């Protein structure tokens, strides 16, 4: 008598009112969201923008689902075609049957399309997503538990899974659990290696592929469900061996040809702050107009230096962000060159020159009697003229 085991659900469908929620589909969807969340965090840490991983996943996920289903149907065609079989069942993805090899292959094609549209290198995006894919597989494998599939040889171990699907009855090795735990270990390995060795140019993804394939070999060896065999080995074992060799080869060659990690993973637009053409300041604080920065302390108007090429000194009054010209009165704007502020409403600035400083209130602009600086008899006197502070 078994003292402990993992019971299988009595049904793979949960009903939320009139809506059926299939356990297999729920696990796949949950895995996709987990992969995107992890990938987004890693992408941002690499210098990418938030949301880019999800944008590209819009292409990758549908392609991956189609590819996974195609691989399963092609390699297990006897389940859907032939005497007594209904080909329509090949479309019932919710009943189980996704091949990871096809999902990765066609999903990569969708990701390439999405990356190309965004100007992003596919290897960098794949590196960011690699651990998330492994976690998605770990979550998705529990969909096999709902469908009472993916189990191994009979066993009485405490963690054996109870199966009663009309074909097999008893307790068996829970291969879905083994693969789920293996995938979590692969995710941890990739994250550790990526931090330790700063993997780049697709090497983190290649490590994920190689590590997963090495585990898939012994997992396939323990499965007892029907499968095509070549030279005594299950088809998926051969697939795992071939893909493992390709992944390791890529790791070695890539490390030699393109060492290090990408410095920039996602192109950015130049203007992240208000542009000069919009009246905003340039990076060095110089005033600008029409996208051209002021140069050598000169105010800019219509992309050119102040009128007649004269340098602006101390403070240049501006009107609404433009240099005062031809006697226009200065109104609201108080922008200034070299850190000086022009006085609002302080007279007129002609020909782009700075407005003169105001005279003292008690200064008589025109002295009475003899001209300033002369005595009554026409000789020079000691009265000094009032000078403005010109710089």
The Cα diameter of the chain in Å comes to 137
Cβ–Cβ under 8 Å, residues 373 and 383: yes
3-state secondary structure the chain: CCCCCECCCCCCEEEECCEEEEHHHHHHHHHHHHHHHHHHHHHHHCCCCCCHHHHHHHHHHHHHHHHHHHHHHHHCHHHCCCCCCCHHHHHCHHHCCCCHHHHHHHHHHHHHHHHHHHCCCHHHHHHHHHHHHHHHHHHHCHHHHHCCCCCECECCCCCCEEEECCCCEEEECCHHHHHHHHHHHHHHHHHHHHHHHCCCCCHHHHHHHHHHHHHHHHHHHHECCCCCEECCEEHHHHHHHHHHHHHHHHHHHHHHHCCCCCCCCCCCCCCCCCCHHHCCCCCCCCCEECCEECCCCCCEECCEECHHHCCCCCCCCEECCEECCCCCECCCCCCCHHHCCCCCCCCECHHHCCCCCCCCCCCCCCCCCCCCCECCCCCECCCCCCCCCCC
Query: Phi, psi (5° rounding) for residue 12?
Result: -95, 10
Q: Give 344's Cβ-side CA count (13 Å radius).
A: 7
Gap between the Cα atoms of 223 and 361, Å rounded: 101
**pLDDT tens by residue, 249-267:** 999 999 999 999 999 999 8
Angle between helices 23-45 and 52-75 (to 10 degrees): 140
- Higher pLDDT: 117 or 296? It is 117
pLDDT on residue 167: 83
pLDDT on residue 361: 46
Nearest in space to 190 (alpha carbons), one of 120, 117, 119, 247: 247
Check pLDDT > 60 for residue 31: yes
Check pLDDT > 50 for residue 1: no
pLDDT on residue 16: 76
Neighbouring-strand partners of residue 348: 329
pLDDT on residue 81: 87
Spell 120-137 as b/e; 16+ CB within 10 A means b: bbbbbbbbbbbbbbbbbb
Check pLDDT > 60 for residue 18: yes
Check pLDDT > 60 for residue 180: yes
Give CA separation, 66 vs 93, 227, 243, 307, 378, in Å.
9, 21, 20, 66, 106
Share of the chain above pLDDT 90, in %: 50
**pLDDT tens by residue, 341-385:** 434 444 444 444 444 444 444 444 444 444 444 433 444 443 333
Pairing of strands 161-164, 169-172: antiparallel
**pLDDT tens by residue, 104-163:** 999 999 999 999 999 999 999 999 999 999 999 999 999 999 989 889 999 999 999 999
Share of the chain above pLDDT 70, in %: 68
Average pLDDT over all residues of the chain? 76
pLDDT on residue 332: 43
Residues 19-24 have a mean pLDDT of 84
pLDDT on residue 5: 84
**pLDDT tens by residue, 201-232:** 999 999 999 999 999 999 998 998 888 899 99
Can you read off the two tokens belonging to residue 100? 């990871």
User: CB-based contacts of 32: which residues, under 8 Å, 6+ apart?
Assistant: 57, 61, 136
Confidence of residue 268 (pLDDT cuts 50, 70, 90): confident
Can you read off the two tokens belonging to residue 384? 């000094």
Angle between helices 235-257 and 203-222 (to 10 degrees): 160
Confidence of residue 3 (pLDDT cuts 50, 70, 90): low
**pLDDT tens by residue, 304-339:** 444 444 444 444 444 444 444 444 444 443 433 344
Neighbouring-strand partners of residue 300: 305
Query: Phi, psi (5° rounding) for residue 241?
Result: -65, -45
């Amino acid at each position: 008598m078994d003292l402990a085991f993992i019971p299988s659900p009595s049904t793979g469908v949960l009903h939320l009112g009139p809506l059926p929620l299939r356990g297999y589909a729920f696990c796949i969807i949950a895995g996709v969201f987990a992969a995107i969340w992890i990938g987004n965090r890693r992408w941002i840490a690499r210098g990418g923008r938030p949301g880019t991983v999800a944008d590209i996943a819009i292409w990758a996920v549908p392609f991956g689902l189609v590819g996974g289903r195609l691989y399963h149907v092609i390699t297990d065609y006897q389940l859907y075609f032939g005497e007594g079989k209904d080909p329509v069942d090949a479309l019932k993805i919710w009943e189980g049957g996704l091949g990871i090899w096809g999902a990765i292959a066609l999903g990569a094609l969708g990701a390439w399309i999405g990356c190309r549209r965004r100007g992003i290198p596919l290897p960098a995006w794949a590196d960011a997503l690699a651990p998330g894919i492994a976690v998605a597989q770990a979550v998705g494998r529990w969909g096999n538990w709902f469908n009472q599939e993916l189990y191994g040889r009979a066993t009485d171990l405490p963690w054996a899974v109870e199966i009663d699907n009309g074909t097999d009855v008893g307790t068996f090795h829970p291969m879905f659990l083994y693969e789920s735990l293996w995938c979590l270990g692969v995710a941890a390995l990739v994250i550790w290696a990526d931090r330790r060795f700063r993997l780049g140019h697709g090497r983190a993804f290649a490590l994920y592929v190689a590590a997963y394939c090495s585990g898939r070999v012994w997992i396939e060896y323990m499965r007892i469900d029907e499968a095509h065999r070549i030279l005594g080995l299950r088809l998926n074992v051969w697939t795992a061996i071939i893909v493992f060799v390709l992944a390791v080869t890529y790791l070695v060659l890539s490390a030699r040809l393109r060492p290090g990690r990408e410095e920039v993973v996602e192109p950015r637009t130049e203007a992240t702050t208000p542009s000069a053409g919009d009246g905003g300041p340039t990076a060095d604080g110089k005033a600008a107009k029409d996208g051209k920065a002021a140069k050598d302390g000169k105010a800019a108007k219509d992309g050119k230096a102040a009128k007649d090429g004269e340098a602006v000194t101390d403070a240049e009054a501006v009107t609404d962000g433009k240099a005062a010209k031809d006697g226009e009165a200065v109104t609201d704007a108080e922008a200034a060159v070299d850190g000086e502020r022009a006085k609002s409403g302080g007279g007129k600035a002609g020909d782009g020159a700075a407005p003169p400083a105001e005279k003292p209130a008690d200064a008589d602009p025109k002295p009475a009697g003899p001209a300033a600086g002369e005595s009554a008899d026409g000789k020079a006197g000691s009265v000094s003229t009032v000078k403005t502070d010109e710089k």
